[in-house]
A = this chain, B = another copy of it.
Amino acid sequence: MKTEKEMVELIKFNEEGYINEGEKAYARRGEIERLAEELAKKDYKNVYLLGIGGTEFSFEPFAYLANKKSRLDFIQLNAGTLTVAWPKHLNENSLVITSSISGTTLEAVEAVKILMKKNIDVVAFAPRDTALAETASKVIELELGENGGIEHVTMLLTFLIYGFLHFRGEFADYPKYSDQINNIFRELVDIRKAFERRADEIAQKTYNAPYTIFTGSGSLWGETMMFSMCFLEEMQWVRTRPCRADQFFHGTLELVEKGVPVFIIKSEDEYRSIDTRVENFCKKIQAEYYVIDPAEFSISGLDEQFRELVSHWIVCAMLSDRLSAYYERYTKHNMNYRRYYRQFEY
């Protein structure tokens, strides 16, 4: 007899492809750690995480979490702004890390050209033979398939960024952490299955709302923006209002009313109490709210101390993967259709 989990069918998801590509990503561990070790020997004064759009948001949890562990500052940098305003502490003592799944993101390529001219080290995650790969000083080749790109890049970033901290002496337990996540993609499949029916229910109730509020904080603010901005706004044309949980009570709260769903993305880090305050408020006024809480889900074999490092991964699977698939089902709006983005020059 099949267990309930085995009977859940994940829509729009290639389990085998996702697992296979995930294993390939994990297999890059040694190669990327060697680069991390080499980088850790240099006396960098800070680290800039350069991206735009989805990449910018996928760097957010790393910036947040690495800042807690490291003496160095990890600073988010929007690639589109480098040509207009030079960041105060960016110079030849900086390390820049960037990533582009397409390898062609215009703003990123332009930014890296400028950085190279200034002799600033740039490590780029990009597919071979793309403009970005040909521009950066060091390249980690992306060989992504069609199944779960964002989450697989998260694995590669984990090896590079936390590996870098480890070799700097700032993350002693990193090898243990890296060992413990070797099976995480299977775990994330099971989490998907556990969440699938709820994703369906939530999407049915919310897909047609005229306006939807999202709150997030700490290491999950990036995923909050990723889902509300990249997936719902860009790919689903859904009107959202992403709002930092620590700002919610100074403006956006007054918009909560019947017919306005509020998504509360609950972190597993220091900010959790701030997210909970939003939740308690919504409960009190009987708002239509949905708590997205990665803490609900277990990851077999993972130490408690590492939970905060994986919670953004779990939320990515829940929202940007599962919930967006159901939004698409109900809105009938093709995720790949754009009216403006990259459709003409602007």
Q: Is the CB–CB distance between B241 and A255 below 8 Å?
A: no
B246 near A229 (CB under 8 angstroms)?
no
Contact A81 B246, CB 8 Å, known A233-B255, A254-B234, A339-B254: yes
Contacts of A240 in B (CB 8 A): 241
Cβ of A247 under 8 Å from chain B: yes
CB distance from A169 to the nearest CB of B (A): 17
Nearest CB on B from A184, distance (A)? 26
A234 to B251, CA, bound (A): 4
User: Is the beta-carbon distance between B85 and A253 smaller than 8 angstroms?
Assistant: no
In chain B, what residue has the closest Cβ to A337?
Answer: B254
Residues of B within 8 A of A41 (CB): none
| Contact of A85 with B340 in the complex, beta carbons under 8 Å | no
Q: Are A250 and B230 in contact (CB-based, < 8 A)?
A: yes
User: Which residues 220-272 of A sit at the B interface, judged by CB distance below 8 A?
Assistant: 229-230, 233-235, 237, 239-241, 244, 246-247, 249-256, 269-271
Let me know if A218 is at the binding interface, CB within 8 A: yes
| B contact residues around A341 at 8 Å (CB) | 249-250, 253-254
Asked if A346 contacts B211 (CB within 8 A), the reply is: no
Chain A positions within 8 Å of B, measured between CB atoms, are 52-54, 56, 67-68, 73, 78, 80-81, 84-85, 88, 210-211, 218, 229-230, 233-235, 237, 239-241, 244, 246-247, 249-256, 269-271, 273-274, 277, 280-281, 284-285, 338-341, 344, 346
Pairs of residues from A and B, 6 with the lowest C-beta to C-beta distance, nearest first? A53-B250, A229-B251, A233-B251, A85-B270, A281-B346, A234-B251
